[in-house]
Structure 1
Amino acid sequence: MANAETGRTIAVVQARMGSARLKGKMLLPLCGRPLVDYVLCHLTALLRGRRPTEQAVLDGVVLATSDRPQDDPLAAHIRRHWPAVHLVRGQEDDVLGRFVTALDSMPAENVIRVTADCPVINAGGLRRMLYELQHTGCDIVNYRPGAEYADKGVEAVSAEALRRAWHHPSATAHDKEHVTALMYRLPAEFAVRYIDGDPLLKKGGVRLTVDTPADMEFFTGLCASMGRTPDSLTVHDIMRHLQRHPQLAAVNACAGAKTTLHESLRAAFVCHGNGRTGYGHISGALRLARVMTQQLGAGVEFIMRPDERSQRLVTEAGFAVSLLPQDAAPEDELRFAARRYALADHSCLVFNCCKADLERYQDGFAALKKEGCRLIFQDNPLPPGWRQGDLLLNALPHPDYQGYSPHEHPACYDGLQYLPLPSGFARAGARRIISPSLRRVLVALGGGDRGTVLEPVLLALHAAGCTAAVQVICGTRQQARTAQHIMKHCGLRGSALWDVRRMDKAMAQADAGISALGVTTYEMAATGLPVLLVTDNDLNSAAAAQFARIAGSLPAGDVRSIRGGHVLESPFCRQFIKSFQEVSKSDVRAAMSVAHKQAVDGKGALRVAGILHDFFSGGKKS
């Protein structure tokens, strides 16, 4: 019997045969059974009378499909093989109406909304959502926006809220197609409650849904690897197995994020990184993504080229990844982004790319605007495309690109005060202590950690008589090995890593930093870390000259002055030694640290959150 205090609860499974990317998927065979059977196996196991009382939470299971002929085979399958499941049919595009029909035929106070393309259900998460719905008086429960959980696609909703949404005068065709979208769009009228999911399930790079042939291939391979079928698996079983066999998740990684539309704001970041250009743009984009999720409750996905390191950085931060086709042309990459924009009902496309990628994209920005995409450019305002941006957030001092005039754009925020930093960097800056001697030196060259810069820097450190422990953080494992070899040859103390996640801790411990001008340089400034600037091209030289106006940094030479590989006799080495001797003085480092903290006050995240709030709510630049 249903609990008299909390009322009856039914699960309504929305399902149809039509699918743009996988026709007839509900009845496609997976491990010997039609796909739809697995979600029904999990849900009917939760019916009261089939399990101990504390685990059984459902009084009924309903499958709601369309009344179109193409869904007749699905309806026939349910009638024949699932007598415990009630079947309702209705208009294809009015999925919300089908839920109301389900409630008319099987009355209940609480509804668990489930999508049929998820073969594995997290029963524990379902029970948690239901408990919150029953005991808080809210209208709907879902996972907190911004995090990508492997078991997304389930909601707990009150029956009364569903009926109210269906009859609501503001309900659009889009709202009725996506069932609960109106509730998230009108939080003043519908009480939305968010919960945090299990940290084990917070993995943006794992797709446990079936919407493409690659998804079917993933589940087939997963089940073969585990020796089990989806009806006998839990989400936790799968996640633990994927931790041991991460290569399995790569099979459908390019299929894109599952869209649930439970966030009032959604952003897609177009951002790339690799061992050649570094991962600074990924780090910068992640900072802005965290501001959006933590301050605005936004949902975020990243659109990026296949690169194992980049994908790991993003998915470990809890964000979804949609991989671009390998070696796609620029126009194809932008078309892919436009499709994701429409499919996921994104609020904006954020571009955080290197100069070379922005040059490739220049001709496509106007086309994106014509398709209704709102564009945000972060940190690299390359002419002429920057004028197509609806919002520019340029926190990084940069050379004055010919044709870039920040004051001419109505929504351009240009300067270090708009650099959003995670709490780790803020804490590092707060506890900065200037030691009497130079004990630790951090070498983090960003995209410049290729051998043309890394080796000369380490040789120059040796020539300068450095006795401090040297910590090198590189973007690739190979560069870390190269650095370790050079340090051993020179007799430098220290170590070399390729884990950029250690950067905030390394900056907190260092007494001085060496950078080749990039995102890492500004992070050093934000922590109050004195910086030696090394350059290797015209772009970096121009940017370094501008950045060096801040008294917290010193120019440390241009490696292009090295002739014939003779580092120790070069103007670069002489300039480096001179600057290193200066930064070795505690009073100089103390003044440099103060200058950095004045330039980067640590309030960038709050400023940017306010700017974004005004931007998305239609506010004007103040």
Structure 2
Amino acid sequence: MKIGAIIQARSSSTRLPKKVLLKLPFGGGITVLQQVIRRTLKSSMINELIVATTNDVADDEIIDISEQEGVKWFRGSKEDVLSRYYNAAKESSIDLIVRITSDCPCIDWQIIDKVIELHLKDNADYTSNTIKPTFPHGLDVEVISFSALEKAHLQAKDSFEREHVCPYISTTHCDMFKISSFEAPQELYAPDIRITLDTEEDYALLCAVFDFLFEKEQYFLAGDVVHLFRSKPWLKIINKKVVQKKHFFDLKDELKEAIKILKLQDLDGSADIIRKFVDGM
């Protein structure tokens, strides 16, 4: 069985353009994408790593970084990320796909291996540590059998399913697949910690994390991150108001989320108007 990690990466992020090309640690010579590649390569179970980017000329730099790091790359659709994953996996004859996103520079290879081990033990179609939020957000790992990925690629129609790769398997048609959930042990339970990269606030936090941990141990682990936040809880304040992007299938749920965002910005009047509308639905 060939196990391959596919890291999706592009430079045209809407909230923080070229985020994967930012330097971590700040002012150093290593990009966010390089941190993700190097940490993922420490996995003992992955046979191959592929960086899957888009056909856009703007993403040529991602190809350059991939070649510099000595890993394979694949170019595909910018919006249809599901097809990008499927074609990258098919071209390299990968049986088990490990999905990693390039905005997770603290990704822990030990967690990657444990998710793979559970997937194989359960003979699952899809296994992830994101089904039930228990880990810090930014240590996300999804493992997908090629047959499940192929079925999703052939049958998924919704743009949300195609943009985010796994929802057809994990959410909208989960009854068709065998799914396993990997949850954090007590010492790593910290779903309130956000160490992913979507905004300037996230980048400021990650710069602080790397300033504290990277010099001492370049390949720090999830336990080091959790310990850091427990010893310095003020770190959470840096990106406290960042809202994770979500997709809703129901207008009422979407409006409820809008109320939360408005309240974070102290826009109480607008929030109250929408709340009254929701109450009357």
Match of 1:143 among 129, 134, 145: 129
- Asked if the contact 2:106–2:139 (Cα under 8 Å) also holds between the matched residues in 1, the reply is no
Percent pairwise identity: 20
- Asked if the contact 2:229–2:235 (Cα under 8 Å) also holds between the matched residues in 1, the reply is yes
Match of 2:62 among 74, 98, 101: 74
Pair 1:96-2:90 in alignment: no
Superposition pairs for residues 57-136 of structure 1, below 5 Å? 57-79=45-67, 81-83=68-70, 85-136=71-122
- Consecutive unaligned residues of structure 2, counting only runs of 5 or more, are none
What CA distance in whole angstroms lies between the structure 1 residues aligned with 2:187 and 2:241? 22
Equivalent position amino acid for 1:28 in 2: L
Please name the residue that 1:330 is paired with.
269
Q: Taking structure 1 as reference, are residues 89 and 217 closer, same or farther at Cα in structure 2, changes over 3 Å only? A: same
Equivalent position amino acid for 1:324 in 2: L
What CA distance in whole angstroms lies between the structure 2 residues aligned with 1:153 and 1:106? 23
How far is 1:99 from its partner?
1.1
The aligned length equals 274
- Consecutive unaligned residues of structure 1, counting only runs of 5 or more, are 1-6, 47-55, 271-299, 306-322, 335-360, 370-374, 376-385, 390-622
What CA distance in whole angstroms lies between the structure 2 residues aligned with 1:251 and 1:230? 23
Match of 1:181 among 159, 163, 167: 167
Please name the residue that 2:232 is paired with.
245
SS in 2 for 1:211: coil
- Asked if the contact 1:119–1:230 (Cα under 8 Å) also holds between the matched residues in 2, the reply is no
Equivalent position amino acid for 1:38 in 2: Q
Q: Taking structure 1 as reference, are residues 125 and 207 closer, same or farther at Cα in structure 2, changes over 3 Å only? A: same
Q: Deviations over 1:446-497 (max 9, x none)?
A: xxxxxxxxxxxxxxxxxxxxxxxxxxxxxxxxxxxxxxxxxxxxxxxxxxxx
Please name the residue that 1:235 is paired with.
222
SS in 1 for 2:240: helix
- Asked if the contact 1:120–1:231 (Cα under 8 Å) also holds between the matched residues in 2, the reply is no
- Asked if the contact 1:95–1:178 (Cα under 8 Å) also holds between the matched residues in 2, the reply is yes
Please name the residue that 2:20 is paired with.
26
Q: Taking structure 1 as reference, are residues 227 and 9 closer, same or farther at Cα in structure 2, changes over 3 Å only? A: closer
Larger Rg: 1
What CA distance in whole angstroms lies between the structure 2 residues aligned with 1:97 and 1:304? 32
Superposition pairs for residues 413-432 of structure 1, below 5 Å? none
Please name the residue that 2:274 is paired with.
364
Equivalent position amino acid for 2:56 in 1: R
What CA distance in whole angstroms lies between the structure 1 residues aligned with 2:153 and 2:167? 11
What CA distance in whole angstroms lies between the structure 1 residues aligned with 2:204 and 2:2? 38
Please name the residue that 2:146 is paired with.
159
Equivalent position amino acid for 1:114 in 2: I
Superposition pairs for residues 323-402 of structure 1, below 5 Å? 324-325=264-265, 327-331=266-270, 334=271, 361=272, 363-365=273-275, 375=278, 386=279, 388-389=280-281
SS in 2 for 1:10: strand
How far is 1:90 from its partner?
0.4
- Asked if the contact 1:27–1:34 (Cα under 8 Å) also holds between the matched residues in 2, the reply is yes
Equivalent position amino acid for 1:193 in 2: S
Superposition pairs for residues 37-52 of structure 1, below 5 Å? 37-46=34-43
Q: Let me know the Cα RMSD of the aligned residues.
A: 2.9
Q: Taking structure 1 as reference, are residues 145 and 105 closer, same or farther at Cα in structure 2, changes over 3 Å only? A: closer
How far is 1:303 from its partner?
3.5
What CA distance in whole angstroms lies between the structure 2 residues aligned with 1:230 and 1:35? 17
- Asked if the contact 2:135–2:183 (Cα under 8 Å) also holds between the matched residues in 1, the reply is no
Pair 1:14-2:1 in alignment: no
How far is 1:188 from its partner?
2.3
SS in 1 for 2:105: coil
Q: Deviations over 1:515-542 (max 9, x none)?
A: xxxxxxxxxxxxxxxxxxxxxxxxxxxx
Q: Taking structure 1 as reference, are residues 227 and 104 closer, same or farther at Cα in structure 2, changes over 3 Å only? A: closer
- Asked if the contact 1:38–1:231 (Cα under 8 Å) also holds between the matched residues in 2, the reply is no
How far is 1:146 from its partner?
4.3
What CA distance in whole angstroms lies between the structure 1 residues aligned with 2:245 and 2:38? 22
What CA distance in whole angstroms lies between the structure 2 residues aligned with 1:202 and 1:268? 28
Q: Deviations over 1:8-31 (max 9, x none)?
A: 101000111111111111111121
How far is 1:77 from its partner?
2.4
Q: Taking structure 1 as reference, are residues 171 and 107 closer, same or farther at Cα in structure 2, changes over 3 Å only? A: same
More contact order relative to length (CA 8 Å, sep ≥ 6): 2
In terms of fraction of residues, the more strand-rich structure is 1
Q: Taking structure 1 as reference, are residues 144 and 214 closer, same or farther at Cα in structure 2, changes over 3 Å only? A: closer
What CA distance in whole angstroms lies between the structure 2 residues aligned with 1:40 and 1:238? 19
Q: Deviations over 1:87-137 (max 9, x none)?
A: 001010111111112112211211110011000112232222211222222
SS in 2 for 1:70: helix
Equivalent position amino acid for 2:169 in 1: M
Equivalent position amino acid for 2:269 in 1: P
- Asked if the contact 1:13–1:115 (Cα under 8 Å) also holds between the matched residues in 2, the reply is yes
Match of 2:177 among 178, 190, 198: 190
- Asked if the contact 2:8–2:51 (Cα under 8 Å) also holds between the matched residues in 1, the reply is yes
Q: Taking structure 1 as reference, are residues 225 and 199 closer, same or farther at Cα in structure 2, changes over 3 Å only? A: same
TM-score, scaled to structure 1: 0.41
What CA distance in whole angstroms lies between the structure 2 residues aligned with 1:230 and 1:219? 15
- Asked if the contact 1:223–1:230 (Cα under 8 Å) also holds between the matched residues in 2, the reply is no
- Asked if the contact 2:127–2:144 (Cα under 8 Å) also holds between the matched residues in 1, the reply is yes
- Asked if the contact 1:268–1:303 (Cα under 8 Å) also holds between the matched residues in 2, the reply is no
